[in-house]
Every structure is written in C-alpha cells, then in structure tokens.
Amino acid sequence: MNAVNRGPLRPQQDAPGRSARVSPRLLGRDLSASIVVFLVALPLCMGIAMASGVPASKGLITGIIGGIVVGLLAGAPLQVSGPAAGLAVIVFELVREHGLAALGPVLLLAGLLQLLAGILRIGGWFRAISPAVVHGMLAAIGVIIAASQFHVMFDAAPQASGIGNLLAIPGTVLAALESEGAMMAALVAATTILGSLGWERLRPAVLRPVPGALVGVVLGTALALLLALPVKRVALPDDLLGSIEWITPAALATLADGALLASALVIAVVASAETLLSAAAVDRMHEGPRADYNRELRAQGIGNMLCGALGALPMTGVIVRSSANVQAGAATRLSAVLHGIWILLFLLALPFVLTAIPTASLAGVLVLTGIKLVEPAHLRALARFGRGPVLTYLVTLVAIVATDLLTGVLVGLALSVALLAWRRSHLAVDLHQAESGHRLVLSGAATFMRLPLLERALRQVPPGPVRVEMERLAYIDDACLALLRDWEREGARSGRPAAIDWPALQARAG
C-alpha cells in the first residue's frame, strides 16, 4: 500500500523525558482528522455493541476509553482503538452463556494478560501467528456477523450460532414477507446499504472525508423519521454515568470458573493479534516512526482493564478507523484522543440523536462490515505461498463458522503446525545419469519419518560409481546418517563406490 500521509511526522515520536511539540499546522491536521474518525467510529461503536448482544452505550464507552486513554498511551500513535467486529462473536457467546455480569471480570483479566505481555516484551510473538489463521479467523467473523445481522435488518432476533444464522436466513425472509413491520425495517436497512455504497462510489472530492457508513445511517434514519416507520430503535440510558456497571468483588470471584478463564485468554490473544496486525498495516500507510508493539500491548491492556472495570466492551486497534485517520491527514496521537472526546461530548449533549437511529440501519452497516472482512485479496495473497496457506485459511474459516471461535482457531493453528512439520520432514531423492556414473540428489529434510523412502531410493541405485549431492538438503537426522553410512559400506564391498561429502552432510545434521 502506498504511503498516504507524507508530511513531516516527527511529533508522533515521544522522546523520553520530553513532551512532543505540535505545530499549529499539525494541530489543524489532527483536529480535522479527529472529526473524520469520530464520524466513522460513532455508528460502528453502537453497531458492534448491538452485534455483541450488549447495550449500545457499552460500545460508546469503549470508544471513549480507546480514544482518550489508549490514544495517550499507544505505541502506534496513528492507530485508533475501539470496539472491534473481530471480538463481537466472542462477547456474544460469553454474554449468552454466562450473562452480562461475566463480561467485566473476563475483560479485566484479558487486559491484565495484555499488560503483562507488553511488560515482558513478547509483543512480537503475537505477530508470529500464521497470517492464514488470522485472515481465516477474520473472514469467519465476517461471515458470522453478516449472517447474524441479516436477521436484525428485519427486526428479528439472531440465532445463537453461525450455522444457525446461515440456515435461518430463508425462514427470516419468508416470515418478513408476511410482516409489515419487518418489511419496513428491511426498507430502512436497504436504504442504509445503498446509501453507503453509493456514497463510497460517487461522493464528490470535496466531501471525501465523510464516511459512507455515516451517510447510510443518516439516510436510513431520515427515512424512518419522515415516514414514521414502526421499527426498533437504539436504546440509550438517560444517564451515561448510570449505565456504567462497576465491577464488584463478587463478580471477580466468578473467574474461578475455567470457562471464563479460557474466554479471557481467547480475548487477550485475539485482541492482541488484531491490534498488532492493524498496527503493522498502519505502519505501511505512513512514513513516520514505526510502532512500538510492546508499548501498544501495554496501552491496550490498560484500556481493556479499564473497560472491564466499567463493564464496557473489549477493544482492539481497528484498521477501519486507523486507515481513515491516516488518510484524513493525522500527524500525531492527538487525533485519536480528540475523537474519543468528541464521542463523549456527543453522548452527553445529543443522546436524542442516537436514540432516533433504527437498529436495522446499524445492522445494514454491520452486514457491509462483515462482508468486507471476507477479503478475497487476502486469499489471493496467501495463494502466492502455495496451497498450504490457502487450505489453512479455508479450514479455519469453516471450523469457526461450524463450531466456535476458539475451536476454529485451534484447528487452524494445528493444521498450520502440521503443514510446517510435513514441509520440514519432506524429502525428495532424485537419481540422475552422469558421465562417470550416477548422481543422487537429496533435497528437503531427511528425518526418521522419511527413512523408508530414502531406503527404497538407495536400493534402486544401479551398479557403478555414485555421487551423493546434498546442496539442497536442509537437514538430516542421525537415523538417515546411519542409513547412508551402511549403504556406503555395502556399496564399497559390492563394487559400487559412493562419493559422499561427510563433513558437509554432518554439518546439516547440526
């Protein structure tokens, strides 16, 4: 991806013991960029909360914390944090099985794990997760979100599983044909989707920063208000502070449940992987200082611990908001901080605007978001590395949709490790005719698992001198070394001399 923000970006880097200086020109860039990010984040914060099965206010609180707190501490200054679609499936399952009260302690522990990972400087290890597994996971989450929110577009309740939502789509459509209210909700959702797509394609250059999702929600809401349509709308508490559910000692005691401990670990790993992948992508979009992954993990951990203490949604670094931030010309972390302030002020001053939004309109935005997560370009990029990554991507996607996120990710990781072990143990033995006899070319890795293959190949070598070439051999273990020694001795006795460079071969055994 070509760099978008080419201006001087030195103020991003916080020098130790010295506060960053921001010029008026850079302050103007951050101010305008923060408004763009705010407009992108506002509908997504509420929509992701709805997809997670929790009140919209919890998504907005996470957006505020992600902007103000994490924005100040982040190791990737141009990255914007907030509620992420990638965690909606996990939270939905957690709340469905254990209740909303379990979200706070689980998230507090997940944030603590992230903080410890950053302190122990293991941020780089999260990026070592196979890209095929990560992209397969995101694609599966996209399928699950799109399938679940398809039902919400008709003001219907989603099913409990990804497979259930996919199978229930025909029934929801048939039921909607007999319900005037469902058809009105579908009209609002269709207006939102068409308005968003149309704006992204046809918007004038002067209004380029205005996001399509916002335009779509405005059009869907305007239609519902003008026609007084009987559709479900966003519910917000009258008092934002009253909606905060502070964590209690009794809630913390529930962490003795092994299932909740596993959920905390899953959230910590998935949130960290998504955050660091997003940070790496943002690094490619600008020419300023690179992200400090361990500092970013510490910031995310503190943010998620605070969200857990307040009973809000988990957060990650989010590529949609971050790319909008860079493209809008952000120069420092101030843009992310300001966007969180704008969400807070809007929620305190204009909550009635948010309660006018139909839930079907937000569902339409999330269906588009889910579809975008199933990015064909990722699959094409993986295909350049062979069939193994493509297989891992597809197996991870199907396994998550068919079971759950943790099981699917574990299946994907197991497959990627199995493919790596197979490639590590793959051995090719090729026999070629030469002027002075034959050439036996070994390539790959000669381990005990390939010992039968090597033995069969050695038995098929015809009489006469043989030269063993191992330039393409990456590794050989003691079992295969012993087999070659025995074969060499047997050949010497039978008049079939073998030329083997033993020092070079033994070096490959180390």
> Are 364 and 472 within one domain?
no
pLDDT at residue 387 is higher than 80:
yes
Please give the pLDDT value at position 405.
74
Q: pLDDT band at 199, cuts 50/70/90?
A: very high
More confident residue, 436 or 358: 358
> Are 340 and 434 within one domain?
no
More confident residue, 405 or 205: 205
Out of 104-118, 209-223, 364-378, 478-492, give the one with best mean pLDDT: 104-118
pLDDT at residue 22 is higher than 80:
no
More confident residue, 33 or 69: 69
Please name the residues in contact with 258: beta carbons below 8 A apart, sequence gap of 6 or more. none
Tokens of 200: 């992204």
Please give the pLDDT value at position 108.
96
Please name the residues in contact with 230: beta carbons below 8 A apart, sequence gap of 6 or more. 181, 184
Of 89-93, 136-140, 163-167, give the lowest mean pLDDT range: 136-140
> Are 360 and 433 within one domain?
no
Please name the residues in contact with 165: beta carbons below 8 A apart, sequence gap of 6 or more. 144, 147, 148, 150, 151, 158, 159
In the chain, how many domains are there? 2
The DSSP bridge pattern shows strands 466-476 and 498-499 to be parallel
Domain that holds residue 497: 426-508
pLDDT at residue 274 is higher than 90:
no
| CA-based nearest residue to 76, from 335, 342, 372 | 335
Cβ neighbours, 10 Å, residue 433: 8
What pLDDT digit, counting tens, does each position of 335-366 carry? Answer: 999 999 999 999 888 888 888 999 999 999 88
Residue 411 lies in a domain: no
DSSP 284-345: TTBSSPPP-HHHHHHHHHHHHHHHHHHT----EEEHHHHHHHHHTT--STHHHHHHHHHHHH
Please name the residues in contact with 248: beta carbons below 8 A apart, sequence gap of 6 or more. none
Residue 494 lies in a domain: yes
Residue 402 lies in a domain: no
Q: Dihedral, CA atoms, 206, 209, 214, 219, nearest 10 degrees?
A: 10
Task: Burial-class residue 128 by CB neighbours within 10 Å (0-12, 13-18, 19+).
Answer: exposed
The CATH number of the domain where 455 resides is what? 3.30.750.24
Residue 398 lies in a domain: no
Strand order in the sheet with 427-434: 427-434, 437-446, 466-476, 498-499
Contact call for residues 74 and 379 (beta carbons, < 8 A): no
Q: pLDDT band at 386, cuts 50/70/90?
A: confident
Please give the pLDDT value at position 10.
44
> Are 161 and 95 within one domain?
yes
Cβ neighbours, 10 Å, residue 344: 18
pLDDT at residue 16 is higher than 60:
no
> Are 197 and 280 within one domain?
yes
Q: Which of 377, 393, 417 is where one domain is finished?
A: 377
Please name the residues in contact with 477: beta carbons below 8 A apart, sequence gap of 6 or more. 446, 447, 448, 509
Residue 364 lies in a domain: yes
Average pLDDT over the chain, rounded to an integer: 87
Q: Which of 343, 377, 411 is where one domain is finished?
A: 377
Residue 87 lies in a domain: yes
What pLDDT digit, counting tens, does each position of 211-255 carry? Answer: 888 899 999 999 999 999 999 998 887 776 667 888 888 888 888
Measure the CA angle with vertex 361, ends 359 and 366; round to 5°: 90
CA-CA distances (angstroms) from residue 250 to 96, 166, 258?
20, 38, 16
Cβ neighbours, 10 Å, residue 345: 12
Q: Give me the mean pLDDT over the 69-75 stretch.
A: 96
Give the 3-state secondary structure percentages of the chain, helix then strand then coil, rounded to 5: 70, 10, 25
DSSP 96-164: HHH-GGGHHHHHHHHHHHHHHHHHTT-HHHHTTS-HHHHHHHHHHHHHHHHHHHHHHTTT----SSHHH
User: Alpha-carbon distance 96 to 85, whole Å?
Assistant: 17
What pLDDT digit, counting tens, does each position of 294-306 carry? Answer: 999 999 999 999 9
What pLDDT digit, counting tens, does each position of 36-54 carry? Answer: 899 888 888 998 998 899 9
Residue 408 lies in a domain: no
Please give the pLDDT value at position 242.
67
Contact call for residues 42 and 346 (beta carbons, < 8 A): yes
The DSSP bridge pattern shows strands 498-499 and 80-82 to be unpaired
Q: Which of 348, 377, 406 is where one domain is finished?
A: 377
3-class DSSP string for 4-69: CECCCCHHHCCCCCCCCCCCHHHHHHHHHHHHHHHHHHHHHHHHHHHHCCCCHHHHHHHHHHHHHH
> Are 294 and 366 within one domain?
yes
pLDDT at residue 1 is higher than 50:
no
Please give the pLDDT value at position 127.
65
Please give the pLDDT value at position 241.
67
Tokens of 433: 């005719």
Tokens of 277: 């992948």
Please give the pLDDT value at position 21.
56
> Are 365 and 475 within one domain?
no
Contact call for residues 194 and 152 (beta carbons, < 8 A): no
Contact call for residues 474 and 502 (beta carbons, < 8 A): no
pLDDT at residue 409 is higher than 60:
yes
Please give the pLDDT value at position 510.
61
Q: Which residues pair with 499 in a beta bridge?
A: 467
In single-letter form, the type of residue at position 489 comes to: R
Q: Dihedral, CA atoms, 228, 233, 236, 237, nearest 10 degrees?
A: 70
Please name the residues in contact with 303: beta carbons below 8 A apart, sequence gap of 6 or more. 65, 66, 69, 70, 73, 81, 111, 315
> Are 447 and 319 within one domain?
no
Residue 385 lies in a domain: no
> Are 331 and 451 within one domain?
no
What pLDDT digit, counting tens, does each position of 119-143 carry? Answer: 999 887 766 778 888 888 888 888 9
> Are 458 and 360 within one domain?
no
The backbone torsions φ and ψ at residue 29, rounded to the nearest 5 degrees and listed phi first, read: -65, -45
User: Alpha-carbon distance 352 to 348, whole Å?
Assistant: 10
> Are 372 and 431 within one domain?
no
> Are 101 and 224 within one domain?
yes
Say how far residue 95 (Cα) sits from the centre of its chain.
Answer: 21
